[in-house]
Amino acid sequence: MRLSNGDPLARALVDAIHAGEVDSLTRLLREHPALASAELVDDKGGSITPPHAAADWPGFFPRAPEVVALLVDAGGDPNVPVRGGWHAETPLHWAASNDDVEVARALIAGGADIEAAGGSITGDSPFDDAVGYGCWRVARLLIDRGARVNKIWHAATLGMIERADELLVNAAYSQQGLNDAFWLACYGGQRRMAEYLLGRGAELNGRPSWGDSTPLDAADFPSTPSVKPS
């Protein structure tokens, strides 16, 4: 089923999802059995799914975890990506990007792939989005559920010194890679990790590869960066 965003059925669906109107949503899904897996198409031809709507920015919609479970039970696939856009994010990427940990948990319970590619930060997993956007609750949930910490900047942002040590032993990192990791440790408030990376050769005033702010800027003014670490 494909519905334009302006279609009355699509509007009723999204309104019920965002308002947490579980009874209304249940009725819609009963009356339209394919609705939970519908493609909701925008005026440029891109599309999302109903589970995306439950995880959309800014997140934290009323009863959203319950809504996610209802959509999945009705046939909504939590692994369908955005189509026709500049990224291919799944609903879990969206929950990771707004730190809605309860919705992320519901999506994972419904079968969401924690390693799905397509994220807006690096083109990779929901974990990359969570770390890059400073969404620490979902980042730690994903680690608890087995997300791969396979990049030095992953470990740096979350203060995982032992894992950082393993990565530095087993792979060569450029000066820029170390500087990126150091900036992110400062951004994540990870003092011990920052000290560790300085000891491994990161530059105190090194600029990250994605911008011109200093590590001190990151530590003093934590905010969502436009991060694409090397």
pLDDT at 227 over 60: no
Residue that finishes a domain, picked among 79, 105, 124: 124
Please check whether residue 146 lies inside any domain of the structure: no
Checking if the pLDDT of 222 tops 90, the result is: no
Specify whether 118 is located in the same domain as 45.
Answer: yes
Q: Kindly state the tokens that stand for 220.
A: 């003093």
- Measure CA of the first residue to CA of the last residue in the chain; give whole Å: 40
Q: Would you say residue 145 lies in a domain?
A: no
What is the C-alpha separation between 205 and 222, in angstroms, rounded? Answer: 17
Q: Can you give the pLDDT at residue 221? A: 58
pLDDT at 173: 87
Distance of alpha carbon 125 from alpha carbon 215, whole angstroms:
25
State pLDDT tens for residues 166-219: 999 887 889 999 999 999 999 989 999 999 999 999 999 999 998 888 999 988
Do the domain assignments include residue 214?
A: yes
Residue 32 lies in a domain: yes
Sign of the dihedral through C-alpha 139, 141, 147, 149: positive
Residues 10 and 95 in one domain: yes
Residue 129 lies inside a defined structural domain of this protein: no
CB–CB of 69/36 below 8 Å?
no
Is residue 78 domain-shared with residue 117, that is, in the same domain?
A: yes
Pick from 104, 124, 144: which residue ends a domain? 124
What domain range includes position 205?
152-220
Per cent of the chain over pLDDT 90 is 79
Phi, psi of 55 (to 5 degrees): -105, 5
Q: What is the pTM of this model?
A: 0.88
Could you report the per-residue pLDDT of 89-133, keeping only the tens digit for each?
A: 999 999 999 999 999 999 999 999 999 999 998 899 999 999 888
Number of domains in the chain: 2
Q: What CATH number should be reported for the domain holding residue 175?
A: 1.25.40.20
* Inside any domain, residue 99: yes
**Do residue 179 and residue 119 come from a single domain?**
no
Same domain, 111 and 182: no
Tell me whether residue 65 is in a domain: yes
